[in-house]
Amino acid sequence: MASSAPTPTPTLDDLWASDRARVSVVVAATPKPGVDFATARDALLAVRWDERSLEWHSTRRGPRDSAAAAAPDDDDAFVVEAVGSCLASGGDESSVAPRVAALAAARFDDAELVVSAPCHVPFLEVRDGVDDPRVRVAAAALLEKEESQGDDARARAVAAFAELGLAASRRRCVASEDLARLTRAATRRMAAAERAMATRHGSVRFGEDAFAFREMGSRGGQRFDLLFPREGEEEEEGGGEGAGEGGGESPQGTAFTTRTGSYGNQSGLERDERDGGDGGEGDAAFVRAFARRAPWVRALVDPILSPPPLSSSSSSSANSASPRRTWWCDVSIVYSKPGARAQDWHCDGRHLAGAARANHAGVGASPPYAICVFVPLVDLNGEVGFTQFWAGSHKADALIGFGSAAEVLRGGVDGKGASYFHTVDAGGFAAYDYRLMHRGMGNFSESTTRPVLQFLYAKSTYKETKNYGSASLFEGGTEGPATR
């Protein structure tokens, strides 16, 4: 019987080829004095590496250092930044930068690898935070008067949102009477929740322990996420503060004191148990009704999460027809007390199994399955805190752990305006793709809690499962769920 030929010993090239994968690289190359941007850019794009299948996807002009950032048009203080992708193994994609410096030595003094990642890297520079025109284009459609919102405005809003994963405005877009009513509802809800924590779940060290109830979860230290009751979860009283969409003032004679927890002649704890912490003023019903008619629904939520009307032969008919809504909405209060620390970069929702991912050029990501809208109930600035977003990060599903790249690549959008004390007004908003990377910043104030309403709109096929527990905060004995 003939013996089989011996298996050849694999070479280093064979081993490398079996373990290679495509990664994204961002390179910054410093031009020689006198080389203009166009010449330097063309020289960088001419650098090839066929064995690694190197491809360049986009370039831009960047500041050479922090001083140059203040003068972005200075012809002698720039670098050429480029994002590309190549095959790599074991981190050897770092070889791309010295290859650029060597093969384009006539044009560049140096080149460095800024970022590498196993997926698409967002390459969107956002200079002015929520005041950036690309961030505001989607907001413009929301802030126009209802009768002037045509199909073109909505199409621009949807297209901008698809690219950035974000739409935001410093200006108030919530009517004053609605904002006042929402603020009262949030204040009552927070007071009821903290009263229940103190009286029913004293074993939980509020602000220190991690916990998860059906209605409320801790989000690290002095930051909390508190759901309003869903329809059917609370017993709503008639004649309260406007259970419908109109709202209105509380009836005369109704007593409410958040510090003592008293409601009229009944203890706050007894009432909380009966109505699920709703406050007994129709708060949850009002909040749910507002969520359905909020200004961003027609401009953004409906076009993305619901199909168009079945009979929409013209713009006028499309504007008058009600879309067949195929989404649900949860509303919660995300509030950060003084002393709350900055969060790590994270995304609220991951890319769904089987859904299309963007390639390394950022093309091909599946559309959103959920949209989150933040509405601050106090003015936001650097002291009380804000939320920071990474524009374009919704297209990739492997950026967890790469959040610091948002600042390195100047893609962070600060929800406080263009400067430290440039506030976002209470009643402004930030709408973002549920997959977008973001983080809540710290609250450095002495006594101001930062409450933000969070409206989560999701397709009816999506079920949220991870953010809360199963035991009720407002029911049961004095022992809460085991802390995490």
78 close to 29: Cβ distance less than 8 angstroms: no
Evaluate whether residue 168 is within a structural domain: yes
3-state secondary structure of 198: helix
Evaluate whether residue 6 is within a structural domain: no
pLDDT in tens, the chain (484 residues): 555 566 666 555 554 455 579 999 999 999 999 999 999 999 999 999 999 999 999 999 998 875 455 455 556 789 999 999 999 988 889 999 999 999 999 999 999 999 999 999 999 877 666 666 666 665 665 555 444 456 677 777 788 889 989 888 888 889 999 999 999 999 999 999 999 999 999 889 999 999 999 999 999 889 999 999 988 776 433 333 433 333 333 322 222 233 333 333 334 444 555 455 555 569 999 999 999 999 899 888 998 998 665 554 444 444 445 567 899 999 999 999 999 999 999 999 999 988 988 999 999 999 999 999 999 999 998 899 999 899 999 998 899 889 989 888 988 887 665 554 556 789 998 899 999 999 999 999 999 999 999 999 999 999 887 778 889 999 865 554 545 5
Nearest to 457 by CA among 326, 357, 333: 326
The predicted pLDDT at position 280 comes to 55
Evaluate whether residue 67 is within a structural domain: yes
Residue at a domain's end among 67, 101, 117: 117
Q: In sequence order, what are the residues at sequence separation of 6 or more whose Cβ sits closer than 8 angstroms to the Cβ of residue 133? A: none
Structure-token pair, residue 128: 């002015």
Same domain, 84 and 143: no
Same domain, 251 and 344: yes
Q: In sequence order, what are the residues at sequence separation of 6 or more whose Cβ sits closer than 8 angstroms to the Cβ of residue 217? A: 211, 224, 225, 467, 468, 469
Same domain, 45 and 177: no
Evaluate whether residue 388 is within a structural domain: yes
Nearest to 473 by CA among 232, 198, 185, 186: 198
Q: Which residue has the tokens 């190197």?
A: 54
Q: In sequence order, what are the residues at sequence separation of 6 or more whose Cβ sits closer than 8 angstroms to the Cβ of residue 199? A: 269, 478
The predicted pLDDT at position 320 comes to 46
Distance, CA of 223 to CA of 105 (rounded, Å): 51
3-state secondary structure of 129: helix
3-state secondary structure of 421: coil
Question: What's the CATH number where 110 sits?
Answer: 3.30.70.60
Same domain, 155 and 106: no
3-state secondary structure of 8: coil
Question: What's the CATH number where 457 sits?
Answer: 2.60.120.620
Distance, CA of 394 to CA of 267 (rounded, Å): 46
Same domain, 73 and 213: no
22: domain range? 13-117
Nearest to 59 by CA among 87, 35, 29, 103: 29
Burial of 144 (0-12, 13-18, 19+ CB in 10 A): middle
User: Tell me, what amino acid is at 288?
Assistant: R
Same domain, 37 and 126: no
Distance, CA of 360 to CA of 55 (rounded, Å): 10
The predicted pLDDT at position 249 comes to 32
Distance (Å) of CA 452 to CA 368, 428, 440, 481 = 22, 10, 11, 26
The predicted pLDDT at position 2 comes to 56
Distance, CA of 40 to CA of 239 (rounded, Å): 71
Q: In whole angstroms, what separates CA 136 from the centre of its chain?
A: 15
Distance, CA of 406 to CA of 293 (rounded, Å): 34
Element (H, E) at 168: strand 166-169
Evaluate whether residue 4 is within a structural domain: no
Q: Which residue has the tokens 């997926």?
A: 119
236 close to 282: Cβ distance less than 8 angstroms: yes
Nearest to 384 by CA among 426, 332, 345: 426
Same domain, 202 and 281: yes
pTM for the structure as a whole: 0.82
Q: Burial letters for 341-366: b for 16+ Cβ neighbours within 10 Å, e otherwise?
A: bbbebebbbebeeeeeebbbbbeebe
Residue at a domain's end among 117, 144, 171: 117
Distance, CA of 264 to CA of 188 (rounded, Å): 14
Distance, CA of 330 to CA of 100 (rounded, Å): 50
326 close to 307: Cβ distance less than 8 angstroms: yes
Q: Which residue has the tokens 């690289």?
A: 25
What is the tally of structural domains in the chain?
2
Evaluate whether residue 415 is within a structural domain: yes
Q: Which residue has the tokens 């809800």?
A: 189
Distance, CA of 272 to CA of 10 (rounded, Å): 70
Evaluate whether residue 392 is within a structural domain: yes
Same domain, 288 and 397: yes
Q: In whole angstroms, what separates CA 6 from the centre of its chain?
A: 57
Distance (Å) of CA 82 to CA 26, 120, 337, 405 = 6, 13, 41, 14
Same domain, 142 and 99: no
Same domain, 462 and 375: yes
Same domain, 298 and 182: yes
Structure-token pair, residue 223: 């930051």
Query: Which tens digit of pLDDT belongs to each residue from 347-396?
Result: 999 999 889 889 999 999 999 999 999 999 999 988 999 998 999 999 98
Helices 283-293, 176-200: crossing angle, 10 deg rounding: 140
Q: In sequence order, what are the residues at sequence separation of 6 or more whose Cβ sits closer than 8 angstroms to the Cβ of residue 317? A: 309, 311
338 close to 446: Cβ distance less than 8 angstroms: yes
336 close to 323: Cβ distance less than 8 angstroms: no
Same domain, 205 and 253: yes
Evaluate whether residue 344 is within a structural domain: yes
Residue at a domain's end among 117, 152, 173: 117
Give the CA angle between residues 229, 248, 285 to the nearest 5°: 20
